[in-house]
Structure 1
Amino acid sequence: MDKLLSSWSSTVESLPENYVFPVDSRSGDATVPICNTLPVIDLTTTLSHDRQDAVQQILEACQDFGFFQVINHGIDDDLVSDTMRVVKEFFDMPNEDKAGVYSEDSSKKCRLYTSTYDYENEEIHLWRDNLRHHCHPIDDFIHLWPEKPARYRDVVGKYSLEMGKLSSRILEIICEGLGLGHGYFGIGVTRAQLFSANHYPPCPSPSLALGLPKHCDANLITFLLQDEIYGLQVYRNGEWVGVEPIPNAFVVILGHQAQVISNGKLTSPEHRAITNSTDNRTSIVYSINPMPDSLIEPAKVLINDSNPPVYRAFQFKEFLKAYEVKKDYNEGALVEFKIKA
């Protein structure tokens, strides 16, 4: 427990050396502009006569950016706000109340830890604490979730059910845009669903540290809920741009598996989380992942003589093994799965 940032970060005046990133990967002192042209999709338009326009907007966002923010998504604002509150309450609790879920065993289905799953072998630590647990099917995992705050399981349980519905809805729209069959993203590639909450305490030297380094997501798709504190940046066209938090909106981020299944039509964007010196920042990630034995390959309907497969077929567990062994969490993670011309 003494490794948790929340245990000691408020007592230090300078950043420990093992949290200082190399010059070429840290956020630095340069101001990254907030980008006002990043796509924001009003999901109510998918229920109207403008549905085809909305489907096209989402497809173009997935092709050009690899992510978008979604508003009017159908999840009650009070539930979204309450979930953020209860997560913040969890991180604000004394260590003795969090001890029951703290673990350095990465195989646990629910655990609180700091930095990454491999803390002991890291040269540089991330400036974050993380609570992560499986949440689908809920009845299989809810007994493992934190018992405190007392309402955590109830609130996060309701939130997880709604996020499962929203993810299915968004994936179906992407299927429609790509011309894939109804329900193409079936249970094999969407069953493993994870709830992950990041806590980024104030950092004494934000320009030297990172909450999360530049990376692409290894999964199929991510739904990110930000609080009001800015901290998400996306790498686009050779430069970093800031993603302004929109109250109760979700940032939808495509993962490597979506890029493979679309045969490269969709992109998995590089992004990172920066730190700041004054405010706690909290973000909540709902991650949709294939099952380990799921076969991932370009959708056959997208393959023809003029559009040959870019990637070979593989099981998701093979990808994860390569992802962790190479420790290349960006576009390089897909290199060995590409078909050589």
Structure 2
Amino acid sequence: MSSTETETQEETYVSYHDGGVFGKRRVLTGKAAKPTFNAVPKIDMRRIYSDNLDDRKELAKEVGDACRNVGFFYAVNHGVEEQILDDTFSAVKRFFDLPTEVKMEVHNQKTEKFRGYEAFLEGKLDPSTRGDLKEGFLMGEDATDPEQKLPVRDLPFMSTPRNQWPSHPTATFFRPALYTYYTAMLTFSRRLLGIFALALDLPEHHFDTITRHPMTNVRAVHYPPQHSDADVGIGAHTDFCWFTLVCQSRTEYPALEVLNANGIWVPVSHEPHSFVVNIADFLKLVTGGEWMSTVHRVRNMGGEERYSMPFFFSPDEDARVSVLERYSKKGGMYEEFGVGEYFQKRLVVDRRTHLEGAEGGEVKRSAGY
């Protein structure tokens, strides 16, 4: 039994972290099972680059079906150069191989936005575990980073640095490599947002006015092999953005898992020339729950080192988001959220650290990590 499952009077439940709130889902089998997905669909994205609006609408229909029924899909033939992805993975592996003291120079507890390095077991989305068995590095929108070419004068709330970059000579390769990836993913995400708008029968650029200077993150992650079923790479959760693009390293045994309506974990394997796309809390919000912000987790049980590079794409920090009129039901109560406020609230919950035995800024890890 995994660490996220509990039994009550012969009923089994899966626990998870959804929108900053803990919940659980009963595992349904046999006659009790509901119609639901058992695999993540694959969608050919080449039509996203077509000059023909009908081609893009045809793509949007497929995307919309996946968002309503699964909340995840493979974006096949996405058009981002494979060399960029290969080079970024190489840089990510090289960064995580650096000595701990080099990485800890940019420990994420030094910034309000939790940017920088996160050590093993510091995150803990599943309270029944000892912590998330991963290490990571987070960067995102920052008007003081010249690579982003953002207008600081128009974004006074971004006038102070948000990102942290290691200064040690052995680590200077990391910033340019991550920015090459960041730029490519940002460009693709803007196109994809238009496809989501079309899938909702909206004008293609409907969301552009609240995504002029989007909140964005690249989170490079290293998952070592798990040797205990009680561990988890990252606990079951939903994402808090418009959507997430995940580029995962090739492993023989899938580590990413998606929770279906029956409480069954569906594996999401590495697929060549593909991103894994999942919609997140803000698209669930604007559709009144019609689109699924699907619970997922990582359990790296295959004995291999695993690396992942999710890109998170959100509305503007000062935007306000509420349900679209066509998805509001008569008599329903709908909240309007300030994007930046909601985002920071989730960050605080999701990045809460458990630095037991920390001494002198150094995190004591479990044996072998």
**TM-score normalised by L of structure 2:** 0.71
Structure 1 317/81 Cα, relative in aligned 2: closer, same or farther at 3 Å? same
- For residues 198 and 310 of structure 1, do their structure 2 counterparts lie closer, same or farther at Cα, with a shift above 3 Å needed? farther
Query: Pick from 135, 155, 164: which aligns with 1:129?
Result: 135
Distance in 2 between residues matched to 1:50 and 1:268, nearest whole Å: 26
In the alignment, is residue 66 of structure 1 matched against residue 68 of structure 2? no
Counterpart selection for 1:84 from 71, 81, 89: 89
CA distance in 2, matches of 1:163, 1:170: 10
Which secondary structure state, in structure 1, belongs to the residue aligned with residue 290 of structure 2? coil
2:311 matched to which residue of 1? 286
**Residue deviations 1:12-61, cap 9 Å, x none?**
xxxxxxxx94653599xxxxxxx984211111133266433222111111
Deviation at 1:271, TM superposition (A): 0.6
Q: 2:100 aligns with which of 95, 102, 106?
A: 95
Does the aligned pair in 2 maintain the 1:26–1:208 contact within 8 Å? no
* Aligned residue in 2 for 1:193: 216
1:258 corresponds in structure 2 to: 283
Decide whether the 8 Å contact of 2:280 with 2:293 is kept in 1.
yes
Q: Which amino acid aligns with 2:139?
A: H
> For residues 297-336 of structure 1, what are the structure 2 equivalents within 5 Å?
297-300=322-325, 302-303=326-327, 311-320=334-343, 323=346
> Matched residues, percent identical?
24
Deviation of the 1:123 alpha carbon: 7.1
Mark the CA change 1:271 to 1:227 in structure 2 (over 3 Å): closer, same or farther: same
**Counterparts of 2:344 and 2:81, CA distance in 1:** 38
CA distance in 2, matches of 1:150, 1:199: 19
Q: Confirm whether residue 247 of structure 1 aligns to residue 280 of structure 2.
A: no
Q: Specify the SS of the correspondent of 1:245.
A: coil
What is aligned with 2:204?
182
Once residues 45 and 110 of structure 2 are traced to their aligned partners in structure 1, the CA distance between those partners, rounded to angstroms, is 39
Asked if residue 228 in structure 1 is aligned to residue 250 in structure 2, the reply is yes
1:36–1:249 Cα change, 3 Å: farther
Q: Secondary structure at the match of 2:61?
A: helix
Q: Report deviation, 1:122.
A: 9.4
Work out the CA distance in 1 between the residues paired with 2:210 and 2:59: 27
Matched AA of 2:260:
R
Q: Which runs of 5+ in 2 are unaligned?
A: 7-13, 17-36, 149-160, 351-369
- 1:331 corresponds in structure 2 to none
Deviations 1:72-112 (A, max 9, x none): 11211100111111111111112233232224335156311
SS of corresponding position for 2:217: strand
Mean CA deviation greater in 110-119 or 41-50? 110-119
Within 1, Cα distance between the matches of 2:60 and 2:130?
A: 42
User: Structure 1 residue 71: deviation in Å?
Assistant: 1.8
Deviation string 1:104-152 (CA, Å, 9 cap, x unpaired) is: 3351563111345579x99731111111112455526697323444332
Quote how far apart the aligned CAs of 1:323 are: 4.8
Moved more, 55-64 or 107-116: 107-116
> Aligned match of 1:219 in 228, 241, 254?
241
Asked whether the equivalents of residues 298 and 311 of structure 1 are also in contact (C-alpha less than 8 Å), the reply is yes
- Cα gap change, 1:288 to 1:143, in 2 (>3 Å): closer
Confirm or deny: 8 A CA contact 1:45 1:54 kept in the other structure. Answer: yes
- Does the aligned pair in 1 maintain the 2:71–2:294 contact within 8 Å? yes
**Map of 2:44 onto structure 1:** 42
Query: Does the aligned pair in 2 maintain the 1:87–1:197 contact within 8 Å?
Result: yes
| C-alpha deviation, 1:168, in angstroms | 0.7
Q: Which runs of 5+ in 1 are unaligned?
A: 1-19, 28-34, 328-341
> Partner residue of 2:356?
none
- Secondary structure, counterpart of 1:124 in structure 2: coil
Q: Aligned partners of 1:56, 1:255: CA distance in 2, in Å?
A: 18
1:132 and 1:153 mapped to 2: Cα distance?
11
Match of 2:261 in 1: 237
Give 1:203 shift.
2.3
Moved more, 308-317 or 77-86: 308-317
**Contact 1:86 / 1:149 at 8 angstroms: preserved in 2?**
no
Do the aligned partners of 1:259 and 1:267 also contact (CA within 8 Å) in 2?
yes
* Equivalent position amino acid for 2:249 in 1: D
Cα distance change on mapping 1:318 and 1:149 into 2, 3 Å: closer
